[in-house]
Amino acid sequence: MTSILTIKDLSVRFGGVLALSNVNCKVHSGEIHGLIGPNGAGKSTLFNAVSGLVRPAGGRITFMSRDITGIPPHEVADAGIARTFQNLKLFEEMTVMENVITGALCGYGTRFWGSLFCGRKTRIEDREVEEKAASILESLGLIAIKDKFVNGLPYGQKKGVELARSLATDPKILLLDEPKAGMNIEESETIMSMLATIREAGLTIFLVEHDMRMVMDLSDRITVLHFGMKIAEGTPDEIANDKTVIDAYLGRKSDIIGSRA
């Protein structure tokens, strides 16, 4: 398979603390790649390095054959990498549709002067982004709440809106940082259904998640971090049967393999 994201010998330091040490990982195009490990293992740090939020102390990050090591976040986003966070970062006083439109507008360059003079091109773009946002909300089952204000939504729907807004930027890869965190059972099932829909559309997903049943059910391959180092990588079945991973993180195999047994 073709690698869309390659992380080679990645190290990150915070003062005297080595948060990541010579981590290697390849995410293949069209797959869901899980990233797991105990709290403090370096998962969010790795995502932050890929996203341009922290500068690596060493190593290289290559995305679609382009070296993106250390470039600023807006250039990472322009390259085709979208990111969600553990803590929601939505415009609470705007509607669902308006939030998703903010993502869709990233690809349009005539907004300032066109909006001043209400040019024809701007009107065409307005129609295009609205149609695009509506299509994404429809695909994720959120179209019924498009006119609701985000601050009045339950947590699970807010997470869905954040996912929709990320998709509106037309990413080549989607980095999801604990998408199920804080959700009840019904909300969790909904977000899993959304991720399955995205996968069927062929979008590559790089996923950090502590819900092992979700990771095992959805992932094609999994990388395991422990104390800032990679200790294993493989298919869900390989990870579930890896003694080093079981001892470091997973616990009893029967607790996590679930439907894969």
Alpha-carbon torsion, ordered 63, 67, 69, 74, to 10 deg: -70
pLDDT digits 0-9 by tens, 135-190: 999 999 999 999 999 999 999 999 999 999 999 999 999 999 988 888 888 998 89
pLDDT band with cut points at 50, 70 and 90 for residue 258: very low
Whole-number Å distance between alpha carbons of 255 and 237: 13
Superfamily of domain 1-80+171-261: P-loop containing nucleotide triphosphate hydrolases (3.40.50.300)
Whole-number Å distance between alpha carbons of 125 and 158: 26
Q: How far is CA 260 from CA 60, 148, 211, 227, in A?
A: 34, 39, 14, 27
Whole-number Å distance between alpha carbons of 171 and 37: 26
The answer to pTM > 0.75 is: yes
Give start-end residues of each CATH 3.40.50.300 domain in the chain.
1-80+171-261
DSSP string, 113-155: HHHHHT-HHHHHHHHHHHHHHHHHHHHTT-GGGTTSBGGGS-H
Q: Judge whether 33 and 207 are in contact, CB under 8 Å.
A: yes
φ/ψ of 201, rounded to 5, equals -80, -10
